[in-house]
Amino acid sequence: MTSSEQTPRRLKVARLVQKEIGNHLQREAFTLCKGRMVSVTNVRMTPDLAIARVYLSIFPSDNADEVLNNIKLHIKSIRHFLGNQVHQQLRIVPDLEFFIDDSLDYVAKIDNLLKKS
């Protein structure tokens, strides 16, 4: 098995992290997301479950970098919240890394190009 394969345990932890962070971002949308709609599209866990790479879709996508930077400024409080939510299921709360998931923007761009031709 290669390290890039997702084991059932990694998938379960990733889904749990995705759900809890998504709920938190919705509740704290005004302060963390500057009023933007942010959804957690994917979470990838490292093999040792120590790091969660969280991919966010931000709508509208203008100033998405500003929203991402604001979320990164609050990474400690988000991780603390996550720890309070998952302390029964996980022994170690993973470190969080946030990234913009621009796949929807890419799909829209391709769709517009296809409509033009």
Whole-prediction pTM: 0.84
Closest CA to 16 of 111, 109, 83: 83
Query: Does a structural domain hold residue 3?
Result: no
Query: Does a structural domain hold residue 47?
Result: yes
pLDDT in tens, 28-67: 888 888 888 999 999 999 999 999 999 999 888 788 899 9
Query: Does a structural domain hold residue 45?
Result: yes
Domain residue limits at 110: 8-116
Query: Does a structural domain hold residue 54?
Result: yes
> pLDDT at position 30, please?
85
Are the C-beta atoms of 57 and 39 separated by less than 8 Å? yes
Query: Does a structural domain hold residue 20?
Result: yes
Q: How many domains does the chain have?
A: 1
- SS3 readout for 5-52: CCCHHHHHHHHHHHHHHHHHHHHCHHHHCCCCEEEEEEEEECCCCCEE
Query: Does a structural domain hold residue 2?
Result: no
Q: Is the pLDDT of residue 22 over 90?
A: yes
CATH number, residue 30: 3.30.300.20
Binned at pLDDT 50, 70 and 90, residue 16 comes out as very high
> pLDDT at position 1, please?
46
β-pair partners for 38 = 58
pLDDT in tens, 59-114: 887 888 999 999 999 999 999 999 999 989 989 999 999 999 877 667 777 878 78
Query: Does a structural domain hold residue 100?
Result: yes
> pLDDT at position 19, please?
96
Query: Does a structural domain hold residue 81?
Result: yes
